[in-house]
Amino acid sequence: MLSSIPPFALFFLGAIAVAFTKGPVRKVLVLAIPLIGGLNLWFGVEPGVHLQIELLGYTLTPYRADKLSLLFGYLFHIAAFLGFVYALHLGDGTPVGSVASDVGEEDITGDKTAGLQHVSAMLYAGSALGAVFAGDLITLFVFWELLAVTSAFLIWARDSERSYATGFRYLIIHVVSGVLLLSGALMLAHSSGSVAFEHIDLSTAGPGAWILLIAFGIKAGFPLAHNWITDAYPESTPTGTVFLSAFTTKVAVYAIARGFAGADVLIYIGTIMTFFPIFYAVLENDLRRVLGYSMINQIGFMIAGIGIGTGLAVNGAVAHAFADVIFKGLLFMSMGAVMTMTGRTKGTDLGGLYKTMPLTATLCIFGASAISAFPMFSAFVTKSMIMVAAIEEHHYIVWLFMLFASAGVLEHAGIKIPFFAFFAHDSGIRAKEPPKNMLIAMSIGAVLCVLIGVFPMAFYTLLPMEMDYHPYDTTHVLVQLQLLCFGAIGFVTLMKSGIYPDEKRAVHVDAEVLYRKLGPWIVRSVGGAVARIDAYVRSSVMEVVGTALKGANRWHGSMGPLARSWPTGSMVLWVAVLLAAYLVFYLF
Amino acid sequence: MSQHLPVLIVVVPLLLAPLAALVGNWKAAWIVAAAASWWAFGVSIALVRRVLAEGTISYEIGGWAAPYGIEYRIDLVSAFVAMIVATIGAVAIIYARTSVRAEVSEDRGALFYSAFILCFTGLLGISVTGDVFNIFVFLEVSSLSAYALIAMGQDRRALTAAYQYLIMGSVGATFIVIGIGLMYSMTGTLNIADLAERLPAVADNRTIPVAFTFLTVGITLKLALFPLHLWLPNAYTYAPSAVTAFIASTATKVAVYLLLRFFFTVFGAEFSFEQMQLDKVLMPLALVAIVTMSLVAIYQDNVKRLLAYSSVAQIGYMVLGISFASVLGVTAGILHLFNHALMKGALFMAMGCVMYRVGSVRLERMKGLGKKMPWTMAAFVGGGLSLIGVPFTVGFVSKWYLVQAALERGMWPVAAVVMFGSLLAVIYVWKVVEVAYFQEADPDDDIREAPLGLLIPTWALVIASFYFGIDATTTADIATRAAEVLLGVGP
């Protein structure tokens, strides 16, 4: 019986229950809901259409399961479970041993908004599930907008002026994406007569398909539409960001994989996404923002894989999405733990934490190893599918860019994150290990990273497409190890010889020299140029927006001619003018 | 008695109006008004059912055969509009009992209800009559009583607002009667069906385009189509809350009905849109109304005024649908007539609740109301969602049809403007939500939730706006059939 209930329904009902409970009951609830839902999905749900309704002459399919949606369904249940384990301590007061209050910000741990966070995270996870099981574009649109609204509350939960403004910007961008989605859906429905969400051919489906792709792209963080990720994710609470990183972009990846697999344009968009964030990530100081950039880079691999479009590539993309939610979640969790215990996330403020937080440091290194694609870790067996597929389809340039980007991942995520937070110069902060639930959540994440890396064949059976691929061949392992070893050796050499500069400057630019054979000045000038162009484009766009707003205000503001109360005489004059105009129009 | 229903829907309230004034006591007057509204509500439902089952009803007053006597002619369009008016009237009268008592002094209570019934009767009369001069008479009945109702607002500016409305409304009505007179001079008849038959023969005469012009200006003035909307914002802002809720959901709707009746039935769609190219006038004005009036709404601090400007924008949507002159477009227009009545009624009623407790609907006085008046603000959010056009609300259904109608004509940019209008609606609805939910209330106020007498009617409309958003088959079906009747393609 439970199998005919859409997965989102359990979460939505659960959210109501969570809203009206407190203390231990709530804790049991938030863990039980994703657990029950996940077990039900795993054991009780077969592929097929489970729910259909008629509305306005169209067939809506709010619940359709196939291998692709089921994979994301499992993933989101795991992510929700991990997220709730991680956020379980909320509402119990500031954790023991935290020095967060030294920073001055009142509630940096997000403890005071525990109820809001639990309820909105539950609704948010439910919306993500609703979206991946949506069999038509209208249902998808509804959950698309719900995702936006529910997640905005996770940003607002930080309860600061800044997070309020950020959350609002975030919401606007996502509502625009939703409106575009609906517009595209309407156009497609008009031309094809159906709102079913199936593969869409960009070359024949008309402008509606492009609008739909842009709508998906905004949520996936396509270049120029990526700013919301790095803007919003660092502004949420330590626990909120963990949820945020899991769902929104992955729903978009799912939607693109279903709708636009094999669209060539995606290869290039994806490739650009893999390398341009690296420059920013290397220069960035806020470690959670670094992870935001790193997220765009990882999504780039997925988008490129979807664009390549072969069975192997699409499998690679969705498998990488799966792995990414877990290792990126793990990294965000470790940074969230640091933030909860120290109140800081900037590289320059941290360092030396391994002395008092050894477990967190170890778990963070697990996540860093996974994202850097060390053999025996998850990204090694997922990202490689995309790279191999690129070679197989003769996209050599694309492959080279991806290789470069992989090295960049090691620099900005693999080394920078754990090094600056836990090692580097000693900041003198003596914060204790985070609460047990945080450690447990991180441990589960770390175990999953390793399990996928060690038993890839078991994981591959879940993937939607047919393929024949074995990740552990000699060449692959060797190439990857070379790439990683040279990066690591360079790093160590520079550290020992004392050339390694202070982290306030762009350290990784120097480490880049060794295996890229490029002078640091190139990276710096390229990075600088990208930043300058970006700043210029942004400021000129803002100027146009500002002028438009000023104009709108002049005409529509409370004293503008369109909004004033007019004297009766002028009103009547308007009538006369219109009468004359109509007479001329009708008679001549 | 049932064959006399077409006239009884008007006659019974018309006779009850003086009774309400004569009883003097506001409580008794309210009972009379409630009886009148609920009577009309019941009859209107019966009429819709009968028209759906048997087709157009023709009723000859006093047994004088048309075209010499006055004919009441109820087709699906008339019946549907009459039902909208009667439904909103029936809900608004319940709401008025609590709201009016707070906003209008007790000694004027009886007069208020008497004017209310008259206004209501006039609007119903316009929709059921089949005689153009009779339309003018009922138009004046409803307008004059509406001026009186608006003038009873608490704010002193209500008086000037009512005065301006009086001048503009009278100009509009005069133009309409000039148009009717010119047509009469050419055809010698006032009966709508008869006019429709005789007009083509004299259409080449210049008098007819002149009549057409006067009617265009008169009707677009009455329905507050940009730029002839200037009387509307003040009238809606300063009127008593119950009056705003009632008039905003009915008066302009009946004016839209006049537009449909004159240009589709009397002149015929072919003459209006192909020969006179009415769409070339209506569509640009509708689009400008949607964009500029939504923008103006964004900048308002007084929420009733904000909603009033939003109404002008929403009228743009209705007129836009009609200007396509296709079955789908007119269906969208008629559907939005009903849907907008529900949502705007709900929104203005929610503001009436705020007015009742806070005494003002300015944004700065609404801080933190989300906590203090949860049901009221939830109703506002519900109505607001509809205004934006979120799925599973009536607003979505209207926009869906409207966009489909635009796409059918291949007008992508028009569809884009409709979607853009939704985005603007998000902003102005959000403005209120932000203040009510995200700003801290002044801890000194002891503002409580509004009484049930206000909340129940408000929520009735909110729930209806969700119900008809999820199950749109009934309304969409009636609207489609009504559009087919107007365009002469249906049975």
pLDDT, tens digit, 9 for 90 and up, residues B214-266: 999 999 999 999 888 888 998 999 999 999 999 999 999 999 999 999 999 99
pLDDT of residue A515: 33
Give me the residue from B171, B276, B416 closest to A572, CB to CB: B171
Are A338 and A368 in contact by the 8 Å Cβ rule? The answer is: no
| B470 contacts on A by Cβ (under 8 Å) | 55
Residue B72 C-alpha, separation from nearest chain A C-alpha, in angstroms: 31
| B403 contacts on A by Cβ (under 8 Å) | 183, 186
More confident residue, B240 or A206: B240
Contact A186 B407 (CB under 8 A): yes
Radius of gyration from C-alpha coordinates of chain A:
25
Nearest to B5 by CA among B55, B72, B52: B72
Burial A182-219 (b: 16+ CB within 10 A, else e): bbbbbbbbbeeeebebeebebeebbebbbbbbbbbbbb
Average pLDDT in chain B? 89
pLDDT of residue A517: 43
Residue indicated by tokens 């990488």: A320
Choice among A277-286, B179-188, B210-219 with the minimum mean pLDDT: A277-286
| Amino acid identity at A307 | G
Q: Which domain does B319 fall in, by range?
A: 277-491
pLDDT of residue A518: 47
Residue A441 C-alpha, separation from nearest chain B C-alpha, in angstroms: 32
For residue A585, the chain B residue with the least C-alpha distance is B276
Contact B227 A574 (CB under 8 A): yes
pLDDT interval class at A500 (50, 70, 90): very low
The reply to whether B333 falls in a domain is yes
More confident residue, A567 or B225: B225
Contact B217 A575 (CB under 8 A): yes
Domains in chain B, number: 1
The answer, as to whether pTM is greater than 0.90, is no
How confident is the model over A237-246, as a mean pLDDT? Answer: 91
Contact B210 A566 (CB under 8 A): no
Task: Give the separation between CA B277 and CA B346, rounded to whole angstroms.
Answer: 36
The structural domains of chain A, with segments of one domain joined by +, span 1-260, 264-546
| Amino acid identity at B2 | S
Cα B249 → chain centroid: 4
CB atoms within 10 A of CB A384: 25
| A155 contacts on B by Cβ (under 8 Å) | none
pLDDT of residue A260: 92
Is B214 in CB contact (< 8 Å) with chain A? yes
How confident is the model over B404-417, as a mean pLDDT? Answer: 88
Q: Write out pLDDT tens, residues B74-126.
A: 988 999 999 999 999 999 999 999 888 888 888 888 899 999 999 999 999 99
Query: SS3 for B408-467, per residue?
Result: HCCCHHHHHHHHHHHHHHHHHHHHHHHHHHHCCCCCCCCCCCCCHHHHHHHHHHHHHHHH
Q: Write out pLDDT tens, residues A376-414.
A: 899 888 988 898 899 888 888 888 888 888 888 887 778
pLDDT at A521 exceeding the cut of 60: no
B contact residues 48-87, partner A, Cβ 8 Å cutoff: none
pLDDT of residue A496: 67
How confident is the model over A507-522, as a mean pLDDT? Answer: 40
Contact A583 B213 (CB under 8 A): yes
B contact residues 22-41, partner A, Cβ 8 Å cutoff: none
| A571 contacts on B by Cβ (under 8 Å) | 164, 167-168, 228, 230-231
DSSP for A95-125, written as a single string: PTT--GGGG--TTTT--TTHHHHHHHHHHHH
Looking at this predicted complex, what is its ipTM?
0.76
Helices (H), B389-411: 394-408
For residue B67, cis peptide bond before it (omega within 30 degrees of 0):
yes
Is B472 in CB contact (< 8 Å) with chain A? yes
pLDDT interval class at A127 (50, 70, 90): very high
B contact residues 271-300, partner A, Cβ 8 Å cutoff: 276-277, 280-281, 292-293, 295-296, 298-300
Q: From residue B206, how far is each of A404, A587, B183, B184 by CA, in Å?
A: 78, 8, 11, 14
Task: Give the separation between CA A462 and CA B90, rounded to whole angstroms.
Answer: 59
Q: Write out pLDDT tens, residues A80-101.
A: 999 999 998 887 777 777 777 6
pLDDT of residue A132: 92
pLDDT of residue A2: 56
Give me the residue from B210, B221, B472 closest to A575, CB to CB: B221
Give me the residue from A55, A164, A179 closest to B422, CB to CB: A179
Q: From residue B423, how far is each of A169, A174, A206, B363, B485 by CA, in Å?
A: 14, 12, 24, 21, 34
Contact A568 B228 (CB under 8 A): no
Contact B295 A141 (CB under 8 A): no
